[in-house]
Every structure is written in C-alpha cells, then in structure tokens.
Structure 1
Amino acid sequence: MNTPPVLLMADDRASTFTRYAVDALPGRLVLLRFASARQDLSDAYLRQTAHLPAFWVNERLPLEDEAARYRAWAAELPAPPTRFCNPSEPRQDIAQRFASLVGLPHLRQTQVRWVRDKAAMKDRFRELGLRTARYARVSTADEIEQFAAGCGWPVVLKPVDSFACVDTFRLTGPEQLADVALESRSWLVEEHLGGTEWEVCALIHRGEVLDAWPSAMPCRPLDIVDGAMNANISVATDEGPPFDLRGMLQRIATGMGIDHGYVHMEFFLVGDEVYAGEIGVRLAGCEITANHGYAYGFDVFGATLDVYLGRRPALEYSGRRCTGDLLLPLPGSGTVHRITPEEELLRLPGVVKSVLRYREGDLVEARRASHNASGYVHVTGASIAEVEKRMRGVLDAFTIEVITQAQAAGTLQH
C-alpha cells in the first residue's frame, strides 16, 4: 500500500490556503516557521494550529545547522515530510534553500533569482522571447533621471525584491526623487506602460501548465496603494484576454525549468501587444486564488495541494462566471470604533463570502501595500462589469471608523 505523502509547508502568515491545508491533510502536514515572522502569526492562529508539528528556523544561525537540527527533529515524527510547499513571496530564498538542505523538492537558486529579482526576471523573459517594459538597475537619482530621459516620465521605481507594491512608486518627475531613500536596497526603474494590466494564475505538474485562469483588475496596484478600489476579478467567461495565456506560461515554465507549483503573473495588453510584467512561483496574493474556485466551480485549493504533493489534479469545472475579491478599506492606524458587520455585507447582491479581520475595539495598523485591508468579500456576477458594479455597491454600504491616537487624545482633552 502506498503511504500518502507528508507535506512540509512554509508558514509565515495565516492564509486561506494554510487553513485549508490544516483541515485537508490531517496527520500529513508539518509547518516550517521562521523566528523573524513570529509577530505576523497571531496567538489565536498559533493556538488553532498547536496540534500540528512545527519546526521553527532561527535565521540568525547558519542555515546548514538549522537544517541538521530539522533532520534530527523530523526523524522523530511518525512520518517525515517528503514534499515541500512555500506559499510565501518574501521568504522564497530562505525557504527554498532550506528545502534543498533537507532533501525536499525545491527551486534552485537560479530559479529563485528569476522569480524574486525583478531585473533578472525580466532578463529571462526577454531571453525567452517575451516583451517587457524597458528597465534598468539603478542606485542613484542621476541614473533614474538618465533612464527617464530615454523613455519619458512617468517611470516606476521599485526594489528588485519587492512584493505587493511595498516601496514601489510611480514617479512623474525628478522633483520626487528627493523623497526616495536609495541607499539601503537594490532598485529597478522601468517605463510606465499604458494599456490594460491583467493577472493570470496557473498550476504546473511535471513541467506542464495544466490550465491558466485570467483575472481583470478594475484598478492598477499602484493606484490601489494610493486609495483606489482594491479588487481582482477571475474571468471564466469569454471576456478574458484574446491570446494564448497557457502557451505564454508554458514558455516561461519550460524556460525557467519549473517542475510543479502554483504560479501567478501580471502582464499588460498595450494595443495588440503583450508585455510580461512579473511572475511568482507561489499562490497569488489577497484572495485571488479563491476567486478561481468560485468562478470555475471547483476545489482550487485541493488542486493546488495536489501539485505540491506530486499528484496531477483533476480540473473538473462545474460552472463559468466572473468572481472577484474586494478588499475592504482600512483608512488608518488606531482603534476600530465602528465597522459594518459581516452579516450585513452578505445580504448585498452577489456577495457569497464576507470576512472581517477586525472587530470594534481592535487595534489596527495600516500599511502602504496592495494587501492593506480590514477584510474582504467575494462577489459574483455574469460579467466583469456586473461584478465591478456590485463591488462598488459593497463599498457604498461598508463603513469603518478608526480613531487614531491623536484623535483619542483630543477627545480626552475635551
């Protein structure tokens, strides 16, 4: 009898996928955690997962020593992990190196560089025959101005290893350069593309892209971090981009030697031309992955677990519609004074799921990132336009009031 595989999963934040895996793999899930991420794991989540074996990596120690300590620890488990999954973008490098050291399937360091270093990524895209925006590594304001002199303002400036638009800026002129601290990180500047920005996700098994699921974005990520509606809409209808998404992703998977996993990519349609943006070998951010399950009518998280466990999933769809995740706004840091209850949101047209991360009285910290939110809803519809209209209805109905420390102090003084 074949023994079911045990999965080692990197776990640096609670997510829909990790919670799904906890329920779906009883006795066959081991968590890999990092000491530096302890503050991102709530006490409630740690209690919910306390029944699972979890190995904590101390990043201050040599990773080879931590891997040796893990091997001794895993040898005492009823069944040690034989497969590996890393859903984390910021810990891609250390997680994959750790998997390599303990003999589990992993991305090679060259592959990690292709999917983490945005300049190396775009170099590889071009080697594979894909168009990209013009770009350059930069370290000084003068180099950014020289680049802009060739392609014009605005330009996009980002750390080469950023994610979720953290520390990513659209610069409209040289006067904004004084506000950017360039000394501490490696940076990339690229031309600002027009057209329409899209996303696409896919599952890969034994080097084959099994299917590709496009997502429309009502607003671009750089507009989202400045306050625009934060939403993604999985498009299972014929409104998707009119070109071979699966073929594009297969070219990348083959060219990067990606054997298995979930990939998430952004690209631009400018007229009839496709420009590759960025790609990650991990689940999509926000609740994009869940959108695909609602839009196509299948167990998307189960299928994702299958490819990480070495199995080919049966992608059997029961429907075709548009479904999006709308991230609910978080207007600032402080104490939540009032927030619309989940049950009220569920009564709105098209809303099939509602999750609030905070309750009245909770302390919150807002960040300039594309995943900054007080919660989310999943909204369905027959078309992109219908989903977007319903999302705007949710925003009209949703209220959150956050009292800052300064406001609280002012109230006490009066």
Structure 2
Amino acid sequence: MNAPPVLLMADDRASTFTRYAVDALPGRLALLRFASARNDLTDAYVRQTAHIPAFWVNERLPLEEEAARYRAWAAQLPAAPTRFCNPSEPRQDIAHRFASLAGLPHLTERQVSWVRDKEAMKDKFRELGLLTARYARVSTTDEVAEFAARCGWPVVLKPLDSFACLDTFRLTGPEQLPDLAVNGRSWLVEEHLDGTEWEVCALIHAGEVLDAWPSAMPCRPLDIVDGAMNANISVATDEGPPFDLRGMLQQIVTGMGIDHGYAHMEFFVVGAEVYAGEIGVRLAGCEITANHGYAYGFDVFGATLDVHLGRRPALEYSDRCCAGDLLLPLPGSGLVHRITPEEELLGLPGVVRSVLRYREGDLVEARRASHNASGYVHVTGASIAEVEQRMRGVLDAFTIEVITQVPAARTLQR
C-alpha cells in the first residue's frame, strides 16, 4: 500500500488554512519559511507549530544553494515531501522557484508572471478572448496623464505586483497624480470600470475546474481601504451573477496550463458583459475561503488540501445559503485601550464565528490595505441583503478604542 503524500507548505504568516493543515496532516506536513518573513510569524504561532518540521530559507543566499540544503534536510525526515502548496501571494515567485529547484510540483516562471504581473495577466486574458478594462504600463506621471486623456478620468493606478490594494489608488483628476519615481517600481494604470465588482473562487484538479463559488462585495476594495465596510459574501443561492463562471475559469486555467490548486478571481459585470479583473492561483485573502464552507456546508479547507495532495475531492454540499466574512475595523496605530469581546459578538444575529487579533494593551499598527483589521466574524443568512444587514449590526455593536499617542508599550506576541 502506497504511503500518503507529504506536503511542503509555504508559511509566511499564520492563517486559518495553515492552522487547519497543521491539525489535518499529522506527520505529513512540513513548513517552508522565509527569513524575511520572520517578523510576520509571531512567537506564539511559532511555538504552536514547533512540532512541525520547518525549513527556513535565507533569501540572501543563492536559491540553488538553499534548495540543495533543503534536499539534504528533507532526506532526514521520516518521509520527504512530494507535494507543494503556496498560499502566499507576495511570495509566489520565490516559493515556486524554490519548489522547482527542490523537485516539487510548481508553477512555471511564465505561469507566475500570469498570476502576479498585472500587465502579463491582462495580456493573457485578452489573448484568451476575455474582456478587460483598458490598461498600460507606466513609469512617469506624464504617462498616467496621457492614458487618462485617452480613456478619461477616473483611472486606477497600482504596482504591477500589488495585492490587497497595497499602494493602489483611484485617481479622479490630474491634481491627484503621485510621484511614480518610488523605489524603482513598475506601475499599471487602467480604466475605472463602472458596474458591479464580484469575486469567484474555484478548485482545480488535473487541469479541471471542479466548481466555482461566487462572492458578492458590499463595498469595492478601493472603497474599503478608505474606510468602507470590509466584507465578502459567498453566494450559494440563485442571487449569484447569471454567467458561466466555471466555464470562464476553465478557459483561463486551460489557457494558462494550470494543473491544480485554488484560484481566486475578481471580475466586473458591466451591463450584460463580464470583464476579467485579476486572478491569483492561491487561496483567497481575508477569510473568503472559509465563507464557501459555511455557504455550501462542506469542508472547504480539506478539499483544498486534497487538490494540493494530488487527490480529487468529493464536493458534497449539505447547505445552500449566503455566508460572509466581515473584517472588524482597526481605526489607527497605537495601544488598544478597549475592544468588544468575542463572546459578545457571537451572541449577535447570524454570527457563527468570531476571532479577535488583539486584546487590550496590545500595540498595533494600522495599514492602508484591504486586509487591515482588528479581527473578523463570519455571518450567515438566507440572502445577500440579510447577511449585509446583520454585518452592519455587528459594526454597530463593535467597539475598539486605540490610543494613538502612547509611551513605550509591549508589542504583540499572540
């Protein structure tokens, strides 16, 4: 009888998925960590996962040498990993290059560029016959202004490799043009689309899109980073967009030659047409993946592990509702003075899970990013409107007070 496969998982931050894998794969999981991410892995999390073999990559050394050191390290394990999973968006490039050098399944350099480089991604979308917003690579403010003169204001400006809306801006006129000569980064400017923005996730096995799960967004990500409600709602009812989302994702997966994994895509519905936005071949951000498990009534993280382990999951759904994650606000950087307890949030209508990242006395740092939050809740309901109404009730009940001017305080060690 063949031994079950062992998974090497890139681990640059604690997440619901990595915690699930730690519990679900005893003796069959190893962690790939990067020295540059050490500050993102709290002491408590490192202690909690100390029983899992972990290989630390020193990015200052040639990756070939680090991969050779890994192979020698893996040979000493009871069973060496034969499968690979990278849930991290910002480390797509180095993680998959490392997996290649380690002899593990991986995305190729070209595939990584299609799911990370916004220009290459949209070029590929158009090659595959999909509609996109108009776009251009730019390196100066004059080039942004020239693009806007052709396409009209507003425009969206973002780094080619951005994620979570980091350094992404909607510019309404030339007076908002920033200085692009920052750190030598490459930028993409694109037409601002009206209509409705949606998300869709999918599992891929042996090149086949097994199913597609749409998500509604009460507020657009660019509005979220400016203070709007930060939420996503998985729609397992007939309220989803009336398009063949699975077919669209299959078109992309086939065109990019993706063999397996989890895909997360943003798209726009403008009139009767769908415009491809962006796609990532990794788990969705925030707690979007968990939403699908609540909405369809199945073990979404177990199914995701299956496709990364080379197994076809049985997608057997026991429910059909709407379920969303609401990120709780983090109003600024400083010392947490007061925060509503998890138990109180769990008592609110529709709330099925509540997680706080901070407690009173923690020193926190807020960021302009779509995942900036003090915690989150999962909320279920019969419709998009009911879930959104319940989420707004949570926001009304939730309180966090952050003292922005504080003396030296202890840093977060949770």
- Per the alignment, residue 7 of structure 1 pairs with 7
Is contact 1:158–1:188 with CA below 8 Å preserved after alignment?
Answer: yes
Superposition deviation, residue 184 in structure 1: 2.1
Give the corresponding residue for 1:221.
221
Q: Within 1, Cα distance between the matches of 2:32 and 2:359?
A: 29
Q: Residue 161 of structure 1 aligns with which residue?
A: 161
- The aligned counterpart of 1:58 is 58
Distance 1:129 1:177 in 2: 32
Q: Once the 2 structures are TM-superposed, how far is the Cα of residue 405 of structure 1 from its aligned partner?
A: 1.9
- Determine if the alignment matches structure 1 residue 205 to structure 2 residue 179: no
Q: In structure 2, give the amino acid aligned to 1:82.
A: T
**1:176, distance to aligned residue in structure 2 (A):** 1.1
Residues 133-144 of structure 1: matches in 2 within 5 Å? 133-144=133-144
1:120 aligns with 2:96: no
Distance in 1 of aligned mates of 2:255 and 2:178: 39
Alpha-carbon distance in 2 for matches of 1:147, 1:5: 50
In the aligned structure 1, how far is the partner of 2:234 from the partner of 2:256?
26
**CA distance, structure 2, for counterparts of residue 262 and residue 408 of structure 1:** 42
**One-letter amino acid matched to 2:299:** D
Question: Could you say what secondary structure the match of 1:189 adopts?
Answer: strand
- For 1:69, the equivalent position in structure 2 comes to 69
Structure 2 CA distance for aligned equivalents of residues 183 and 71 of structure 1: 35
Q: Distance in 1 between matches of 2:6 and 2:183?
A: 43
Aligned AA (2:362):
D
Distance in 2 (alpha carbons) for counterparts of 1:74 and 1:301:
25
- 1:283 and 2:277 aligned: no
Q: Identify the residue that residue 391 of structure 1 maps to in structure 2.
A: 391
Conserved? CA contact 2:140–2:179, under 8 Å:
no
List aligned pairs for 1:354-393, cutoff 5 A.
Answer: 354-393=354-393
The answer to whether structure 1 residue 400 and structure 2 residue 395 are counterparts is no
1:332-371 superposed matches below 5 A = 332-371=332-371
CA distance in 2, matches of 1:12, 1:287: 16
Separation in 1 of the partners of 2:159 and 2:179? Answer: 15
Give the equivalent residue in structure 2 for 1:82: 82
Asked if the contact 2:139/2:180 (under 8 Å) is kept, the reply is: no
Unaligned residue ranges in structure 2 (runs of 5+): 410-414
How many Å apart are 1:2 and its aligned residue? 1.1
* 2:50 is equivalent to residue 39 of structure 1: no
> Is the alpha carbon distance of 1:179 and 1:391 closer, same or farther for their aligned partners in structure 2, counting shifts above 3 Å?
farther
Q: Which amino acid aligns with 2:294?
A: Y
Deviation at 1:275, TM superposition (A): 0.1
Per-residue CA deviations over 1:169-222 (Å, capped at 9, x if unaligned) read: 000111111455545200000000000000000000000000000000000000
1:412 corresponds to which residue? none
> Are 1:313 and 2:313 counterparts?
yes
- Distance in 1 (alpha carbons) for counterparts of 2:408 and 2:85: 44
SS of the aligned residue for 1:123 comes to: helix
Q: Provide the C-alpha distance between the structure 1 equivalents of 2:60 and 2:406, rounded to a whole number of angstroms.
A: 37
8 Å Cα contact 1:212/1:246 also seen in 2? yes
How far 1:127 sits from its partner (Å)? 0.2
CA–CA separation in structure 2 for the residues paired with 1:311 and 1:380: 30
Counterpart amino acid of 1:120?
A: A
In structure 1, distance between residues paired with 2:159 and 2:184? 10
Three-state SS of the structure 2 residue aligned to 1:291 is: helix
Q: Displacement of 1:238 after TM fit?
A: 0.1
Tell whether the 8 Å contact from 1:139 to 1:183 is kept in structure 2 after alignment: no
CA contact (8 A) 1:35 1:57 kept: yes
- Residue matched to 1:250: 250
In structure 2, what is the Cα distance between the partners aligned to 1:127 and 1:182?
31
Q: Counterparts in 2 of 1:100-119, with a 5 A limit?
A: 100-119=100-119
Q: State the alpha-carbon separation in 2 of the partners of residues 200 and 58 from structure 1.
A: 35
| Rounded Cα–Cα distance in structure 1 between residues aligned with 2:322 and 2:125 | 29
What do residues 68-104 of structure 1 show as CA deviations (whole Å, max 9, x unaligned)? 0000111000000000000000000000000000100
Structure 1 residues 389 and 179, CA gap change in structure 2 (3 angstroms): farther
User: In 2, distance between residues paired with 1:312 and 1:137?
Assistant: 39
In structure 1, give the amino acid aligned to 2:262. Y
Contact 1:139 1:182 survives alignment (8 Å): no
C-alpha separation in 1, matches of 2:101 and 2:330: 40
Paired residue type of 1:248: M
CA contact (8 A) 2:340 2:399 kept: yes
Question: What is the alpha-carbon distance in structure 2 between the residues aligned to residue 242 and residue 151 of structure 1?
Answer: 28
> What is the TM-score of this pair, normalised by structure 2?
0.98
Q: Aligned residues: percent identity?
A: 89
User: 1:210-246 deviations in whole A, cap 9, x for unaligned?
Assistant: 0000000000000000000000000000000001000
| Count of aligned pairs between the two proteins | 409
Q: What one-letter code is carried by the residue in structure 2 that aligns with 1:56?
A: W
Letter of the structure 2 residue corresponding to residue 282 of structure 1: R
> Which amino acid is the alignment partner of residue 92 of structure 1?
Q
Following superposition, the deviation at residue 257 of structure 1 comes to: 0.2
What stretches of structure 1 of length at least 5 have no aligned partner? Answer: 410-414
Partner SS for 1:131: coil
Distance 1:390 1:184 in 2: 44
Residue 306 of structure 1 aligns to a residue in which SS? Answer: helix
With the length of structure 1 as denominator, give the TM-score of the two structures: 0.98
